């Protein structure tokens, strides 16, 4: 016996189809329809029939074993045997986050595949695994941001219990695990939500079309879908936190916004579960209120990704000035990122053509994630090339060292730590022919506009683009990968051993730089980091004699008040 329920304000009649039989549903309160069906239980497939139309999957389907257009399947929520009762995640302030994409992280591209690599991640020194979105999207291959069934694990990665097995295994290894969730839009294929109710509003035009309805009529139920989804992953799947995709594409002018709603509900869940839960936002707003506690007028999100630090670092290392890098490129900006988090904090941005961001000295480094690479910064390049593919090994090492000595919560992207040769390209597997074609052409045209040869831009729909993006794990045993991996291990271990480095107070960060000579020295308590970005050896001023030095290149030489560094190299003094 199972009680089916679905919110459908746009249906005049509703039935649930189970094993070929239709059971009519009754309209209960607030647009919710219900029907109790005997002989329906875990494993049963079902679909909803609105107004005698085609069968539609459940907007809250727990599993779509045959894809986004097919019936949903009931699962036994309580069957999995958890062994993590005593688990507690460490605080974000001491985290090392490792972002990965299930489909390309291993050869098998499954949840089970990830489990096999957990020892490696633990040995690397990572504390938190972050999965790119794993909920059901159309086709087999994709980054995951085109999901449509928010509650169903993507069938190509495994069944619901396979995902639980991964979470449980992480906890058994002492690793926390975070999940990327997308509440700002739904994928273009298999999105049947608007047939059920006003999940979207035409009041706002987003890059994906009408916005998700967070502040118009019936938005309470739309918000409920997302909040229940967050609870689903955190409570039922034991995730330790969520990464919220692009909150700048939430359109919401309510006095109490969805994000604040969500953060207070998750705080309540944390209290009721008795274990630490975190919310991390991707935000392009440079608005400190996102990461300010609710009591102080903020939204109560724990942390956000810091693209400004990435862009400042990337543009200094690569010299790139196209697109959003137009706004960056100076050591002054890198210093600003290190000392205040946002580089644009009320300043005019040339790239945006407007004033951007807001200054707030209360922002802590613990509420900002710092990274030299992530799936977007790699994958949104025409060729999906990693930093190591475009800068020399010296600069690659400087990047890593700055990430792990910066006042932010460090994050790295799968394969970064061993300088993977595989790119991370944009891949899709849309089933609709026209959509597939327009995505392929759109990608080509987008980069042709930037001067790329359209023939060279990888076709997202081509299975080879996906295959090319998979990590080659045998690389870790050979050079230059093994040495780079050793450098990352050294840096991560160093960070975790030095209290100065996990101090989140940005106003304690001291930075000295010479824009023309291309050097920068950062001091954080007992640790001093000297970076030579110049193509020549030069001497950098340091504040005091160091007992120990970790250098990215040999050939450095310390003198009183100075350290001489080879070109494109860095030394950590402590």
What is the three-class DSSP state of 529?
Answer: strand
Which of the following is catalytic: 180, 215, 282, 302?
A: 282
Q: What length is written for the chain?
A: 574
Establish if 508 lies at the interface with a second copy (CB under 8 A).
Answer: no
296 Cα distance to chain centroid: 26
Query: Which range, of 203-211, 385-393, 417-425, 498-506, touches a second copy by CB under 8 A?
Result: 203-211
The smaller minimum CB distance to a second copy, of residues 296 and 464, is found at 296
Q: Of 53, 348, 463, 464, which lies in the binding site for a second copy, with binding defined by CB under 8 A? A: 348
> Which one of residues 12, 354, 516, 547 is an interface residue with a second copy (CB under 8 A)?
354
Q: Is 282 a catalytic residue?
A: yes
Binds a second copy (CB under 8 A): choice among 346, 361, 463, 535: 346
Integer-rounded Cα Rg, in Å, for the chain is 25
Closer residue to a second copy in complex, CB, 205/456: 205
- Tell me the CA distances in angstroms from 17 to 28, 34, 237, 483, one per residue in order: 19, 13, 27, 58
Q: How far is the CB of 357 from a second copy (least distance, A)?
A: 5
Closer residue to a second copy, CB minimum distance, 149 or 249: 249
| Comparison of 252 and 429: residue with beta carbon closer to a second copy | 252
Q: Using an 8 Å Cβ cutoff, are 535 and 567 in contact?
A: yes
Classify residue 220 as exposed, middle or buried by CB count within 10 Å of its CB (0-12, 13-18, 19+).
Answer: exposed
**Residues contacting residue 247 through CB under 8 Å, at least 6 positions apart:** 184, 259, 281, 282, 283, 285, 290, 301
**Minimum CB separation from a second copy for residue 218, in Å?**
5
Given the structure tokens 């009721």, which residue do they identify?
Answer: 272
CB of 461 to a second copy, least distance (A): 29
Query: Taking CB under 8 A as the criterion, which residues in 209-228 touch a second copy?
Result: 215-220
Q: How far apart are the first and last CA of the chain?
A: 66
Out of 352, 389, 508, 537, the residue judged to bind a second copy by CB under 8 A = 352
> CA–CA separation, 70 vs 531, rounded Å?
55
Handedness of CA 348, 351, 357, 359 (dihedral sign): negative
Look up residue 379 and give its two tokens.
């994958």
If binding means CB under 8 A, how many residues of this protein chain bind a second copy?
Answer: 34
Q: Is 478 in the site for a second copy (CB under 8 A)?
A: no
Binding residues for a second copy restricted to 288-327, rule: CB under 8 A: 288-289, 292, 296-298
Q: Is 505 in the site for a second copy (CB under 8 A)?
A: no
Provide the token pair at 227: 């909040």
Between CA 272 and CA 137 the distance in angstroms is 31
Question: Of 45, 215, 245, 249, which residue is the catalytic one?
Answer: 245
Binding of a second copy by 17 (CB under 8 A): no
Contact assessment for residue 143 and residue 375, using Cβ atoms and an 8 Å cutoff: yes
Identified binder of a second copy from the candidate list 285, 467, 558, 567, rule CB under 8 A: 285
Asked if residues 16 and 35 have their Cβ atoms less than 8 Å apart, the reply is: yes
Pick one of 20, 353, 451, 560: the residue that binds a second copy (CB under 8 A): 353
Contact between 28 and a second copy per CB under 8 A: no
State the Cα–Cα distance between residues 107 and 382, nearest whole angstrom.
24
Q: Shortest gap between Cβ of 255 and a second copy (angstroms)? A: 4
**SS3 of 214-279:** CCCCCHHHHHHHHHHHHHHHHHHCCCCEEEECCHHHCCCCCCCCHHHHHHHHHHHHHHHHCCCCEE
Give me the least distance between CB of 219 and a second copy, in Å please. 5
User: Exactly one of 46, 63, 196, 204 binds a second copy (CB under 8 A); which one?
Assistant: 204
Contact between 557 and 569 under an 8 Å Cβ cutoff? The reply is no
The one segment of 130-138, 200-208, 375-383, 406-414 that binds a second copy by CB under 8 A: 200-208
Q: How far is the CB of 21 from a second copy (least distance, A)?
A: 35
For 377, other C-beta atoms within 10 Å of its C-beta total 18
**C-beta of 214: minimal distance to a second copy in Å?**
9
Q: How far is the CB of 133 from a second copy (least distance, A)?
A: 24
Stretch binding a second copy (CB under 8 A), from 18-26, 141-149, 350-358, 422-430: 350-358
Peptide bond into 480 cis (omega under 30): yes
CB-nearer residue toward a second copy: 295 or 434: 295
| Residue 194 found at the interface with a second copy (CB under 8 A) | no
Distance CA 355, CA 454 (A): 34
Q: How far is the CB of 364 from a second copy (least distance, A)?
A: 17
Determine how many CB atoms are found less than 10 A away from the CB of residue 43.
11
Tell me how far, at minimum, the Cβ of 250 lies from a second copy, in Å: 9
- DSSP codes of every residue in 153-187: E-TTT--HHHHHHHHHHHHHTT-EEEEEE--S---
**Contact indicator for 29, 50 with CB cutoff of 8 Å:** no
216 vs 523, beta carbon nearer a second copy: 216
Q: What would the x/- binding string for a second copy be over residues 231 to 270, using CB under 8 A?
A: -----------------x--x-xxxx--------------
Nearer to a second copy, 111 or 251 (CB): 251
Indicate if 479 belongs to the active site. Answer: no
- Give the helix/strand (H/E) hosting 21: strand 21-24
- The region of 83-91, 344-352, 413-421, 467-475 touching a second copy under the rule CB under 8 A is 344-352
Report if residue 362 touches a second copy, rule: CB under 8 A. no
Active site residues: 245, 282
Q: Which residues bind a second copy (CB under 8 A)?
A: 202-205, 215-220, 248, 251, 253-256, 285-289, 292, 296-298, 346, 348, 352-358
């Amino acid at each position: 016996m199972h009680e089916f329920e679905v919110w459908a304000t746009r249906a005049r009649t509703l039935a649930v189809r189970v094993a070929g039989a239709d059971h009519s549903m009754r309209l209960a309160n607030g647009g919710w329809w219900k029907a109790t069906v005997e002989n329906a239980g875990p494993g049963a497939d079902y679909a909803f029939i609105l107004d005698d139309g085609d069968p539609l999957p459940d907007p809250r389907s727990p599993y779509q074993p045959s894809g986004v257009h097919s019936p949903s399947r009931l699962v036994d929520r309580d069957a999995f045997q958890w062994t993590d009762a005593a688990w507690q995640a460490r605080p974000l302030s001491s985290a090392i986050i490792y972002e990965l994409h299930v489909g390309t992280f291993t050869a098998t591209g499954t949840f089970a595949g990830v489990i096999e690599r957990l020892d490696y991640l633990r040995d690397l020194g990572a504390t938190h695994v972050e999965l790119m979105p794993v909920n059901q999207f159309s086709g087999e291959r994709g980054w995951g941001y085109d999901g449509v069934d928010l509650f169903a694990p993507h069938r190509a990665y495994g069944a619901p219990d396979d995902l639980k097995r991964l979470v449980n295994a992480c906890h058994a290894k002492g690793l926390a695990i975070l999940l990327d969730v997308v509440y700002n839009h739904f994928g273009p294929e298999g999105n049947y939500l608007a047939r059920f109710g006003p999940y979207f509003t035409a009041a706002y035009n987003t890059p994906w079309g009408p916005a998700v309805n967070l502040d118009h009529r019936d938005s309470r139920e739309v918000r409920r879908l997302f909040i229940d989804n967050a609870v689903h992953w955190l409570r039922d799947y034991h995730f330790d936190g969520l990464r919220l995709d692009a909150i700048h594409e939430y359109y919401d002018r309510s006095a109490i916004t969805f994000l604040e709603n969500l953060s207070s509900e998750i705080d309540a869940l944390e209290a009721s579960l008795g274990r630490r839960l975190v919310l991390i936002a991707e935000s392009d707003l440079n608005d400190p209120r996102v990461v300010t506690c609710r009591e102080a007028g903020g939204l109560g999100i724990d942390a956000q990704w810091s693209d400004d630090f990435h862009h400042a670092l990337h543009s200094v290392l690569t010299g790139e000035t196209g697109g959003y890098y137009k706004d960056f490129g100076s050591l002054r900006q890198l210093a600003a990122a290190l000392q205040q988090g946002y580089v644009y904090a009320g300043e005019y941005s040339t790239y945006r053509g407007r004033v951007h961001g807001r200054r707030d000295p209360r922002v802590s480094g613990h509420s900002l994630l710092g990274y030299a690479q992530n799936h977007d910064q790699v994958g949104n390049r025409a060729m999906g090339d990693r930093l190591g593919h475009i800068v020399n090994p010296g600069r690659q090492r400087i990047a890593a060292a700055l990430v792990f000595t910066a006042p932010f919560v460090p994050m790295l992207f799968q394969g970064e730590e061993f300088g993977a040769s595989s790119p991370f390209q944009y891949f899709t597997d849309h089933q609709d022919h026209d959509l597939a074609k327009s995505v392929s052409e759109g990608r080509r045209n987008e980069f042709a506009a930037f001067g790329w040869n359209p023939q060279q831009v990888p076709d997202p729909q081509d299975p080879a683009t996906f295959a090319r993006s998979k990590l080659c794990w045998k690389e870790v045993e050979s050079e230059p990968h093994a040495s780079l991996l050793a450098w990352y291990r050294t840096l991560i271990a160093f960070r975790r051993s030095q209290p100065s480095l996990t101090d989140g107070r940005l106003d304690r960060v001291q930075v000295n730089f010479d824009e023309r000579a291309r050097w920068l020295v950062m001091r954080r308590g007992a640790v001093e980091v000297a970076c030579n970005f110049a193509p020549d050896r030069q001497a950098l001023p340091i504040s005091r004699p160091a007992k120990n030095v970790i250098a990215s290149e040999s050939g450095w030489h310390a003198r009183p008040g100075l350290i001489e560094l080879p070109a494109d190299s860095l030394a950590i003094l402590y």
